[in-house]
C-alpha cells in the first residue's frame, strides 16, 4: 500500500481562510462540538449549502459546484476541527449523494441532489440489522418485485439520525442467495423515502441517554420501480465501494480534535513533548487520509487503504480525550473543556464501531497484506 500525498489544489489556502472566517465566533457549546458530524442542525446545514460547500464536486446541473475533491477536504477539515454540527448534510454529501450521482436515474438525480446540496434534506445509512452487523451479508430485509415496483419488509438497526432524515439508502435482499453460491448475490440497494406508509422509526437510547440512532421497521412498504439504485443484485459491490468514501475521510480522525485545540490554551509547558507527539501522529494520519482522497478522485477504489485510515484514525481520536486529560491539572481545567472531555470520553467507544469495527477493518487489511 502506498500513500502518496496529492498536491493541494490551487486556491486551497484562500478557501481555508474563507471557511475559517465563516466558522469564527460560532457560539457552540461543548455538547455540540463533541458530536460534530453526528450532531444535527438543519439551519446550519442550509447556511453551509448556501455557501456552496455541500455537493461541492457534483455537476452544476444537479446543484453542485464542480470543484475538486481536495477542495472539499479543506472544508471538511475546517468544519471538524471546530466541531461544527454538520450531521444534517454529512451523510448525503459524503456517500448517499455520490452514490445517487453514479447510479440513480436522471429524474432522481435532478429531484434529489440539488436538495442535498442546499442542505434541505438528509440521508441515513440502512445497512445494519438486528442480527447482521459485521456479518452484513446475512441481512434479511427483503424487497419483492411487483408490477408496480417493490414491496419492502424487514428491519434496520442503529440507523443514525433516521428520525430526522428524509431518505435512507437501504441494502436489502431482492432475490435469494443461490444454493451453495455467494451470499453477496441477490442484494440490492433501494432509495427509501422515509415518509412512506409502513415505515416505523423507533429511537434507541445510547450510553449518554440520547436518542441519536434508531430501529427502522418496514411493513409492506410500497416503493416505485425507480427506487432500485443501480443494478438489481449488484448491491453488495455498490455498498462496499461506498464504504471507501465512508472510511477514509477526516471524520475518522478528527472527532476529538476540538478538545486538543481547547486544551492548547491551558496546557502547562511540561506538556510540550506529549502534544508534539500527538500532533505528529495527527499529521501522519492526515497525510494518509488526503492520499486516499486523491486516489478516490483519480477514480480508484482504495478499500484497503481506507480501512487502514479508519482503523489508525479511530485509535487516535479514541485515545485523544484520555491523553489530554492526563496532561491537565484538574484545578486548571476550564468547565467547558471538562464538559467536552466528559462527552468525548463517553462517545469515544463508538468511534471504532460505527462504519465497521476494528476487527473487521483489520481483517480487510490483513487480506490485502496476504496474511489471511
Q: Return the active site residues.
A: 246
Closest contact distance (angstroms) between CB of 161 and ligand FAD is 7
DSSP string, 272-331: HHHHHHHHHHHHHHHHHHHHHHHHHHTT---HHHHHHHHHHHHHHHHHHHHHHHHHS-GG
CB 84 to ligand FAD: min, Å: 19
What's the rounded Cα separation, in Å, for the pair 352 and 157?
17
| Residue with smaller CB distance to ligand FAD, 114 or 126 | 126
**# residues near ligand FAD by CB under 6 A:** 19
Taking the least distance from each CB to ligand FAD, the nearer of 315 and 357 is: 357
Q: Which of 134, 138, 200, 261 binds ligand FAD (CB under 6 A)?
A: 134
Rule CB under 6 A: is residue 118 a binding residue for ligand FAD? no
Shortest reach from residue 1's CB to ligand FAD, in Å: 21
The 334-353 contact track toward ligand FAD, x by CB under 6 A, reads ----------------x--x
| By the rule CB under 6 A, 332 interacts with ligand FAD | no
- Which residue is closest to ligand FAD by CB? 133
Report 206-265 residues binding ligand FAD (CB under 6 A).
213
**213 closest CA partner among 329, 316, 133:** 133
Q: Assess contact for 98 and 245: CB atoms under 8 A.
A: yes
Q: Which residues contact 290 (CB under 8 A, 6 or more apart)?
A: 5, 6, 70, 73
Q: In Å, what is the CA distance from 183 to each residue of 139, 157, 176, 190, 236?
A: 10, 20, 9, 18, 9
Q: Which is nearer to ligand FAD, 110 or 140 (CB)?
A: 140
List the grid coordinates of 109.
Answer: 438525480
Rounded Cα gap, residues 352 and 315, in angstroms: 8
Nearer to ligand FAD, 109 or 156 (CB): 156
Task: Give, as ranges, the residues between 353 and 372 that touch ligand FAD (CB under 6 A).
Answer: 353-354, 356-357, 359-360, 363
Site string for ligand FAD, 73-112 (x = CB under 6 A): ----------------------------------------
Residue 189 touching ligand FAD (CB under 6 A): no
Please choose, out of 58-66, 126-134, 137-145, 320-328, the segment that lies near ligand FAD by the rule CB under 6 A.
Answer: 126-134
160, 188, 238, 256: residue in contact with ligand FAD (rule CB under 6 A): 160
- Rounded to the nearest angstrom, the gap between the alpha carbon of residue 215 and the centroid of all alpha carbons in its chain is 18
Minimal distance, residue 133 CB to ligand FAD, in Å: 2
Quote the cell numbers at residue 79: 468544519
Decide: is 314 part of the binding site for ligand FAD (CB under 6 A). no
One-character DSSP codes across 224-261: -GGGEESSTTBHHHHHHHHHHHHHSSGGGT-TTHHHHH
Backbone angles phi, psi at 234, to 5 degrees: -100, 15
- Give me the half-sphere count of Cα atoms (radius 13 Å) on the Cβ side of residue 46: 5
Which has the closest alpha carbon to 325: 261, 267, 251, 258? 267
Q: From the list 125, 187, 190, 194, which residue makes contact with ligand FAD (rule: CB under 6 A)? A: 125
Q: Which residues bind ligand FAD (CB under 6 A)?
A: 124-128, 133-134, 158-160, 213, 350, 353-354, 356-357, 359-360, 363
Amino acid at each position: 500500500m502506498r500513500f502518496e500525498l496529492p498536491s493541494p489544489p490551487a486556491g486551497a489556502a484562500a478557501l481555508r481562510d474563507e471557511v475559517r472566517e465563516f466558522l469564527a465566533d460560532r457560539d457552540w457549546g461543548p455538547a455540540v462540538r463533541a458530536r460534530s458530524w453526528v450532531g444535527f442542525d438543519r439551519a446550519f446545514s442550509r447556511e453551509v449549502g448556501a455557501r456552496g460547500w455541500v455537493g461541492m464536486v457534483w455537476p452544476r446541473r444537479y446543484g453542485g459546484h464542480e470543484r475538486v475533491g481536495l477542495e472539499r477536504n479543506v472544508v471538511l477539515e475546517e468544519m471538524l476541527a471546530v466541531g461544527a454540527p454538520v450531521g444534517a448534510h454529512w451523510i448525503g454529501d459524503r456517500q448517499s449523494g455520490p452514490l445517487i450521482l453514479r447510479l440513480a436515474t436522471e429524474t432522481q438525480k435532478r429531484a434529489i441532489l440539488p436538495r442535498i446540496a442546499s442542505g434541505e434534506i438528509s440521508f441515513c445509512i440502512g445497512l445494519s440489522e438486528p442480527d447482521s452487523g459485521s456479518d452484513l451479508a446475512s441481512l434479511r430485509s427483503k424487497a419483492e418485485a411487483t408490477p408496480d415496483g417493490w414491496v419492502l419488509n424487514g428491519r434496520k438497526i442503529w440507523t443514525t439520525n433516521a428520525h430526522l432524515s428524509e431518505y435512507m439508502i437501504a441494502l436489502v435482499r431482492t432475490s435469494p442467495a443461490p444454493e451453495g453460491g455467494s451470499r453477496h448475490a441477490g442484494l440490492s440497494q433501494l432509495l427509501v423515502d422515509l415518509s412512506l406508509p409502513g415505515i416505523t422509526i423507533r429511537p434507541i437510547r445510547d450510553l449518554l441517554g440520547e436518542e441519536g440512532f434508531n430501529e427502522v421497521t418496514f411493513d409492506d412498504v410500497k416503493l416505485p420501480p425507480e427506487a432500485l439504485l443501480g443494478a438489481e443484485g449488484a448491491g453488495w459491490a455498490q455498498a462496499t465501494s461506498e464504504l471507501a468514501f465512508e472510511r477514509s475521510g477526516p471524520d475518522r480522525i478528527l472527532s476529538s480534535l476540538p478538545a486538543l485545540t481547547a486544551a492548547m490554551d491551558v496546557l502547562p509547558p511540561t506538556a510540550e513533548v506529549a502534544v508534539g507527539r500527538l500532533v505528529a501522529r495527527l499529521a501522519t494520519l492526515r497525510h494518509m487520509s488526503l492520499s486516499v482522497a486523491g486516489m478516490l478522485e483519480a477514480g480508484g477504489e482504495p478499500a484497503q487503504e481506507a480501512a487502514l485510515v479508519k482503523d489508525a484514525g479511530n485509535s487516535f481520536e479514541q485515545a485523544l480525550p484520555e491523553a489530554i486529560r492526563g496532561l491537565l491539572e484538574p484545578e486548571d481545567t476550564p468547565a467547558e473543556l471538562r464538559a467536552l472531555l466528559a462527552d468525548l470520553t463517553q462517545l469515544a467507544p463508538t468511534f471504532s464501531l460505527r462504519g465497521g469495527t476494528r476487527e473487521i477493518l483489520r481483517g480487510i487489511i490483513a487480506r490485502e497484506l496476504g496474511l489471511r
